[in-house]
Structure 1
Amino acid sequence: MKIGIIGAGEVGLTYARPWSAAGHDILLCDLKPSPNAQAFAADLGTQVMTSVAELAPQCDVVVSCVFGTVSLSVAQQALGGMGEGALFVDMTTADPAQIRTAAAHAAQLGVAYVDVAILGAIALTHEKTNLLGAGEGLERAIALFASAGAPLKPVEGGAAGDAAALKILRSVFTKGLEALTIECFMAAEKQGVTHQLHEALSDIDQASLRDFLGALIRTHVVHAPRRLKEVEEAERQLRAADLPVSVLPGVKDLFERTTRQIGSSPVPTASPTVQEAFDWLFEANGLSR
């Protein structure tokens, strides 16, 4: 199979090498190829191309590894030259809406379009990094990445753009958790109770993450007023200890908003389901789905 890789940086070369070792023909395209890209191309007996329009017609698969800001224009250039039945793999950090726009254009041209999100640190785990994919032609993409020893998992029932959206949401969760962890454990260190805090949090390990998060959502819409007082006291104690407080003010704002909403329009049931909690939250915030 002939695979064209647009963007011969760290991501592109990470997969180019094992794909080449698996017997695929590799073409590289980059406006400003690095010495590593040039050296790899030389090993293949070729040069790094600089024209997407020249690359695309020669390939069975085109893999885009460019910056998200140029992903749509690069995709449109490539799709215009790809043959019907070819496969386009988008590994960029583009806005999901742009990916969906490009995928719709690909469908009109008869080109399969798969959105692949990288869920880990390529620099650490290389081609073994977990990947999430969605879109037409996903089974072909899974087989392609498997030939490189790369784990690509499907988004159940997903379309192109869904993997990118999930990556962004995952970042919201993990980076928010990271910030809260720093704030919380700095306070624990100053008070000399870091080990004890780990023990105090150990009950969270007893439930699955899905169940734990579901419980937070269900009970938030009922118990936010009481929990707001805990947040206020936690912020007071951290400030009294002269510790930096960045996350808790935002947490307090959210609990204050929910508390006001409960005061004006309480949740109809004392034990809402996750779906009922979401319904109430969307309505209370004047949001549509």
Structure 2
Amino acid sequence: MKIAIVGAGEVGLTYARPWAAAGHDIILCDLKHSATAQAFAAERGLDIATSVGAIAADCDVVVSCVFGTVSLVVAEQALAHMRKGALYIDMTTADPAQIRIAAEQAAQSGIVYVDVAILGAIALTHEKTNLLGAGPGIEPAQRLYAAIGAPLKAVEGGAAGDAAALKILRSVFTKGLEALTIECFMAAEKQGVTDKLHDALSDIDQASLRDFLGALIRTHVLHAPRRLKEVEEAERQLRAADMPVAVLPGVKDLFQRTAEQISANPLQTPAPTLEQAFEWLFKANGVSRS
């Protein structure tokens, strides 16, 4: 199978290596290729193309690993030359709306499109990094990745763009948690209670993540005013200990906003369901849910 990889950076080369080892004919395309890409190309006796259009017509698969900001441009260049039935894999971090535009253009040209999102640290786990995919090309893409031991999970009932959207939302959660962890555990380490903090947090392991997060949402719309006081005290103590404080002010702002909304329009139920909590949150913040 002839596979063109557009964007011969870390992501592109991560998958180029095992696909090449599996016997696929690899074509690299990159305007400003790195020394690592040059070394890989030299090892395999490959040239590095600089025009997507010049190589796309001959390929069974085109894999886009470029920056999200140029994802749609690259897709349009490739789709204009690819043959019907060929597979286009978008592994960029593009805006989901742009991925959906490209997927529609692919459908009109009879090209099979799939949106593949990277869910982990590819520098650490390489081709074993978890992937999430959506779109008409999910099944052939899964076969292609499975052959090199790359785990590609399908978004159930998902359309192209859904994997990218889920990746962005996952990043909101994980990067926010990472920032809060740094702020919290630096303070714990300074006070010599890091191990004890792990013990104090151990009850969270007793529930499923879904149940734990659901409980946070359902109780936030009731107890934000009281919890605001805890956040304010936590910030005061960190500042008193001369610790850097970046995350808690944002946390405090959110709790402050919810507390004011509760004061103006409290829920009329003492134990809201998740659906009721979401309904109240969207209404209180003046945001459409759809």
Q: CA deviation digits over 1:233-289, x for unaligned, max 9?
A: 111222222222111111111111111111111123211111211111011101012
Residues 90-99 or 239-248, more deviating: 239-248
Tell me the distance in 1 between the aligned counterparts of 2:31 and 2:194. Answer: 50
Written as runs of structure 1 = structure 2, the 5 A alignment for 1:109-188 is: 109-188=109-188
Q: CA deviation digits over 1:48-72, x for unaligned, max 9?
A: 1111111110011100011111111
SS class of match (1:227): helix
Distance change >3 Å, CA 34–CA 233, structure 1 → 2: closer
Distance change >3 Å, CA 73–CA 225, structure 1 → 2: same
Tell me the distance in 2 between the aligned counterparts of 1:45 and 1:245. Answer: 52
AA aligned to 1:86 is A
Q: CA deviation digits over 1:138-157, x for unaligned, max 9?
A: 01100011112111111122
Tell me the distance in 2 between the aligned counterparts of 1:191 and 1:45. Answer: 57
Q: 2:199 maps to what in 1? A: 199
Tell me the distance in 1 between the aligned counterparts of 2:46 and 2:239. Answer: 61
AA aligned to 2:183 is E
Offset, 1:190: 2.3
Tell me the distance in 1 between the aligned counterparts of 2:223 and 2:105. Answer: 47
Q: Give the gaps of 5 or more residues in structure 2.
A: none
Q: 1:231 maps to what in 2? A: 231
Q: 2:51 maps to what in 1? A: 51
Tell me the distance in 1 between the aligned counterparts of 2:22 and 2:268. Answer: 59
Matched, 1:89 2:89: yes
AA aligned to 1:11 is V
Offset, 1:47: 1.2
AA aligned to 1:221 is V
Tell me the distance in 2 between the aligned counterparts of 1:141 and 1:270. Answer: 48
**Percent of pairs with identical residues:** 78
CA RMSD of aligned residues (A): 1.3
Q: Give the gaps of 5 or more residues in structure 1.
A: none
Offset, 1:78: 0.1
TM-score by length of 2: 0.96
Tell me the distance in 1 between the aligned counterparts of 2:95 and 2:35. Answer: 30
Offset, 1:45: 3.5
Tell me the distance in 2 between the aligned counterparts of 1:83 and 1:8. Answer: 23
SS class of match (1:267): coil
Tell me the distance in 1 between the aligned counterparts of 2:182 and 2:28. Answer: 41
Tell me the distance in 2 between the aligned counterparts of 1:57 and 1:162. Answer: 27
Residues 156-165 or 214-223, more deviating: 156-165
AA aligned to 2:267 is V
Q: 1:33 maps to what in 2? A: 33
Tell me the distance in 2 between the aligned counterparts of 1:181 and 1:264. Answer: 33
Q: 2:245 maps to what in 1? A: 245
Tell me the distance in 1 between the aligned counterparts of 2:238 and 2:162. Answer: 39
